Amino acid sequence: MERLKDKVAVVTGASKGIGAAIAEKFAEEGASVVVNYARSAKEAEQVVNRIKEKGGKAVAVKADLSKVSEIKPLFEKVQQEFGRVDIVVNNAGVYEFLPLNSITEEHFNRQYDLNVKGLIFTTQEAVNRFDGRGGNIINLSSVVSTAPTPNGSVYASTKAAVDAITRSLAAELGSRNIRVNSVLPGPVETEGTSAMPGVKDFFSGLAAQTPLGRVGQPQDIANTVAFLASDEAGWVTGQTIYTTGGLR
């Protein structure tokens, strides 16, 4: 089944982890995929190669979306390669956990510049390029937007902002047939999370609290995002979809 046949999708932060899984799932569903990355060129090209080996269409495009000046060139490249854009997945993001007395302006700006500012201006550019058929924006949030953890005040607040932006833009853009939704993953095993100190014990504890008894895998999130990107979710907008195995 190719639910995204003839669609062009931009997946930000797609060189690894959840973003890579989304890009590959989209390609399996028939979309032409732009694999955006900021620094991991080798990994992004590996994602593209895996897609092409399976007969899909993909291209890697570098852009640091925390810098507004790099967003328009990203979409110019999309236009050059595929002629249009139909779907944007705002997956690019950073996370860092610090107690209140250790928070610095740099810590704050690093997360807000990408997780919030980058998402807004990427969405703005995408919406300006959607044609009369409308479009689809899917934002990657987190369960911490409504269940924040200690030492995560800055990160959790960026994700709460993402959910507020999602609901506001869904109301604003619905009349133009543009759908906007958030996906809120729970703990997911990725290259980034696996490198965190003490993560094995941390994940074991979370798995024990999760009704489905395990932490997530990138493919779990990709499956939800692919549904939201498809016409099967044509009556779904302004929603915050928990993809957590039941953890809340």
Mean pLDDT of 150-159: 97
Whole-number Å distance between alpha carbons of 206 and 202: 6
- Establish if 215 belongs to a structural domain: yes
In a domain, 246, yes or no: no
Q: What is the pLDDT of residues 81-132, one digit of tens each?
A: 999 999 999 999 999 999 999 999 999 999 999 999 999 999 999 999 998 8
Centroid of chain to Cα 222 = 9
Q: How many CA atoms lie within 13 A of 103 on its CB side?
A: 15
Query: What does the alpha-carbon distance between residue 231 and residue 226 come to, in Å, rounded to a whole number?
Result: 10
Radius of gyration over alpha carbons of the chain, in Å? 17
Nearest to 140 by CA among 118, 157, 117, 115: 115
- CATH number of the structural domain spanning residue 186: 3.40.50.720
Residue 243, in any domain of the structure: no
> What is the distance between the alpha carbons of residues 175 and 6, in angstroms, rounded to a whole number?
23
In whole angstroms, what is the distance from residue 114 CA to residue 68 CA? 10
**73 touches 63 (CB < 8 A):** yes
In whole angstroms, how far apart are CA 241 and each of 87, 141, 157, 228? 17, 9, 17, 10
pLDDT, tens digit (0-9, with 9 covering 90-100), for 54-74? 999 999 999 999 999 999 999
Q: Catalytic residues, which ones?
A: 155
Task: Report pLDDT digits (tens) over 211-236.
Answer: 998 989 999 999 999 999 999 999 99
Total tally of structural domains belonging to the chain: 1
pTM recorded for the entire structure: 0.95
241 belongs to a structural domain:
no
Range of the domain at 150: 8-236
Confidence at residue 176, expressed as pLDDT on a 0 to 100 scale: 97
Question: 87 lies in a domain?
Answer: yes
Assigned domain for 77 exists: yes
Question: Is 244 inside any structural domain?
Answer: no
